[in-house]
Amino acid sequence: MDMKVTKKKLGLKDKYKLMTRDLGWEPSYHSKDELYPYMNYEGIKIHDWDKWEDPFRLTMDAYWKYQAEKERKFYAIIDAHAQNNGHLNLTDARYLSALKIFLQAISPGEYAAHRGFARVGREFPGVGPQVACQMQAIDEIRHAQTQIHAMSNYNRYYNGFHAFADQRDRIWYTSVARSFFDDAMSAGPFEFMIAIGFSFEYVLTNLLFVPFMSGAAYNGDMATVTFGFSAQSDEARHMTLGLEVIKFILEQDPDNLPIVQNWIDKWFWRGFRVLGLVSTMMDYMLPKRVMSWREAWDIYGVENGGALFKDLARYGIKPPKGWDDAEKAIDHMSHQFMLGLYQWSFGTAFHAWIPSDDDMRWLSAKYPDTFDQYYRPRWEHIKKLAAAGTPFKNYGLAKLCQTCQLPTVFTEPDDPTLTCHRETVYKGEKYHFCSDGCQHIFENEPEKYIQAWLPMPQLFQDPVNGDLGEWMKWVSLLDGKDNGDYAGSEDQKNFEAWRGLATTNQ
């Protein structure tokens, strides 16, 4: 064989092509439809997978090298954090409610994303998108694990973390996040990519991660800050993938536009509802607050999202249908959520509390048009009840939205004094919704959403049969430890005692 001595100089792009898409081939022993069976049923038309532009170029050797470096740092820091009782550096143990919600509801979502990306990483008949999705699949299990590992030490000292795996599947409020990810995974591969890759990772992730990780930093939670920083470069890759996916689909065929627009409308609203919990964390649960939910929305929603949809306008994409309703909800939602969480706190594996006078002053300043008018009076009333020894608890069952699974605690977009409630009758059954957005989503795919597992009806079935104590056992909730008001809780007493040990000579 006559070999050349000097090798051709390959550019980065060509080299990466040889390392990825050149590995694929046209099958001939089976049809492409047989090997990639889920490509057509959603109606998306792809004519040329080769037009896919790799959103990043990372061969496996480089991936292992970079990721191992980050892993070494991450575990060194959380080991030190555990060893030195880093949890006593928290501003206050109230902060942990945010972490408990995260571990019960969001970390399982990371795992679901791992499996979802593995599936699409197999199902797309193009090596470029397959490799990009597979890398996200392996990143997502990383995120699930680093989060569990970071919070494991908190579990040793504080309540509410210990049963996250049971509560992921059984407790009522985690079904908000669970149903979101189940919805995406049960959709076809293209919709999954728009749901998670684009809407969640690109449009909404900043609203989740930036406030969360900044909140951790502001409140002395070194463990969470560390996984946030460590995940950042992964997230950057995921965002470029999300954007490439939508552009690729839209450039392939004009018929794809209405399908994609419909998914954007749907997933924006689904995501907005899930992120509602973040609003409560930002405005109520962080002892030391980073910024208000309104301020975060103005930056990451209005500014960034606005720029994005301006950029996508050339494909004919319009901002999501629920955008205006979302904007109208921003000044209300955190208060509505926290009021709900407080009155149902007997049924949550985290604590809620009545905001202090200082907290309420801050809320008035950040929400000048809404807080004093609509929400302060309710908190003042609740405060009086608590002072009188008759704290406000709502043992009535929350009516859950069939789509987003949140209690229907929201108000009409144009009337903050009126609770928003929608109904649809489908095949003789009545279904309830929290908003127009959720009702529309149901009506587009009723056969999907009638299957939703709703945690409230479960209360009246075996093994619970309407008994609150049995229910608590079933969801692994320790009454008097995990739930209720932060004031007077074990977490509060322990944190103060331990911190006293560490900072005084008593």
Partner 1 sequence: MQIDLRTVAIQPQRQAFDHLVRRFGDKAASRYQEGSYDIQAAENLHYRPTWDPDHQLYDASLTRIVMADWYALKDPRQFYYSTYTLTRARQQETAEANFSFVESRGLADMLPDAQRAVALNVLVPLRHAAWGANQNNTTVCGYGYGVVFTQPCMYHAMDNLGVAQYLSRLGLLLGDTEALDAGKKAWMDDATWQPLRRYVEDCLACRDPFELFVAQNLALDGLLYPLVYERIVDQHLSAQGASAVAMLTQFMSDWFDETRKWVDAVIKVAAAESEANRAVLTEWIRQWSARAASAMVPVVELALGSGADEAVGEQLEAFKARVLKTGITL
Which of 453, 457, 465, 488 lies at the binding interface for partner 1 (CB under 8 A)?
453
By the rule CB under 8 A, 506 interacts with partner 1: no
Cα dist from 494 to 83, 287, 348, 506, whole Å: 18, 17, 20, 15
Give the pairing type, strands 411-412 and 422-426. Answer: unpaired
- Cβ atoms of 472 and 166 within 8 Å: the answer is no
How many chain residues bind partner 1 (CB under 8 A)?
Answer: 103
By the rule CB under 8 A, 314 interacts with partner 1: no
Which of 13, 27, 316, 457 lies at the binding interface for partner 1 (CB under 8 A)?
27
Closest distance to partner 1 from the beta carbon of 12 (Å): 14
User: What is the distance, to the nearest Å, from the Cα of residue 231 to the centroid of all Cα atoms in its chain?
Assistant: 15
Site for partner 1 in 152-211 (CB under 8 A): 152, 155-159, 161-166, 168-170, 175, 178-179, 182-183, 185-189
Closest distance to partner 1 from the beta carbon of 324 (Å): 28
Q: Which CB sits closer to partner 1, 319 or 446?
A: 446
Which of 53, 69, 255, 496 lies at the binding interface for partner 1 (CB under 8 A)?
69
By the rule CB under 8 A, 452 interacts with partner 1: yes
Task: Name the residue with tokens 């959403």.
Answer: 449
d(CA 420, CA 408): 7
By the rule CB under 8 A, 456 interacts with partner 1: no
Closest distance to partner 1 from the beta carbon of 466 (Å): 18
By the rule CB under 8 A, 386 interacts with partner 1: no
- Cβ atoms of 341 and 394 within 8 Å: the answer is no
Task: Name the residue with tokens 């795919």.
Answer: 445
- Which residues lie below 8 Å from residue 238, measured CB to CB, with a gap of 6+? 136, 139, 197, 201, 205
Site for partner 1 in 472-501 (CB under 8 A): 476, 494, 498-499, 501
Which of 53, 64, 307, 465 lies at the binding interface for partner 1 (CB under 8 A)?
64
Closest distance to partner 1 from the beta carbon of 330 (Å): 28
d(CA 462, CA 455): 12
Closest distance to partner 1 from the beta carbon of 292 (Å): 25
Which of 101, 112, 203, 464 lies at the binding interface for partner 1 (CB under 8 A)?
112
d(CA 175, CA 76): 34
The interface mask with partner 1, positions 77-96, x = CB under 8 A, is -------xx--xx-------
Q: Which CB sits closer to partner 1, 23 or 387?
A: 23
Which of 28, 417, 461, 506 lies at the binding interface for partner 1 (CB under 8 A)?
28
Closest distance to partner 1 from the beta carbon of 410 (Å): 21
By the rule CB under 8 A, 141 interacts with partner 1: yes
Site for partner 1 in 389-428 (CB under 8 A): none
Q: Which CB sits closer to partner 1, 364 or 476?
A: 476
- Helix (H), strand (E) counts: the chain: 22, 4
By the rule CB under 8 A, 348 interacts with partner 1: no
Cα dist from 165 to 228, 346, 367, 487, whole Å: 22, 19, 36, 26
Alpha helix segments (H runs only) across 52-126? 60-83, 96-101, 107-123
Buried b (16+ CB within 10 A) or exposed e, 155-183: bebbbbbbbbebbbebbbbbbbbbbbbbb
Q: Which CB sits closer to partner 1, 79 or 311?
A: 79
Closest distance to partner 1 from the beta carbon of 347 (Å): 16
Q: Which CB sits closer to partner 1, 148 or 246?
A: 148
Q: Which stretch binds partner 1 (CB under 8 A): 25-33, 43-51, 344-352, 415-423?
A: 25-33
User: What is the distance, to the nearest Å, from the Cα of residue 204 to the centroid of all Cα atoms in its chain?
Assistant: 9
d(CA 309, CA 490): 47
By the rule CB under 8 A, 121 interacts with partner 1: yes
Cα dist from 257 to 24, 40, 470, whole Å: 28, 15, 50
By the rule CB under 8 A, 76 interacts with partner 1: no
Q: Which CB sits closer to partner 1, 64 or 460?
A: 64
Q: What is the dihedral of CA 302, 232, 208, 444, to 10 degrees?
A: 80
Q: Which stretch binds partner 1 (CB under 8 A): 145-153, 239-247, 343-351, 461-469?
A: 145-153
d(CA 196, CA 198): 6
- Cβ atoms of 279 and 337 within 8 Å: the answer is yes
By the rule CB under 8 A, 365 interacts with partner 1: no
By the rule CB under 8 A, 446 interacts with partner 1: no
By the rule CB under 8 A, 221 interacts with partner 1: no
User: How many Cβ atoms from other residues are within 10 Å of residue 246's Cβ?
Assistant: 23
Q: Which of 422, 415, 418 is nearest to 328 (CA)?
A: 415
Site for partner 1 in 230-289 (CB under 8 A): none
Closest distance to partner 1 from the beta carbon of 169 (Å): 4
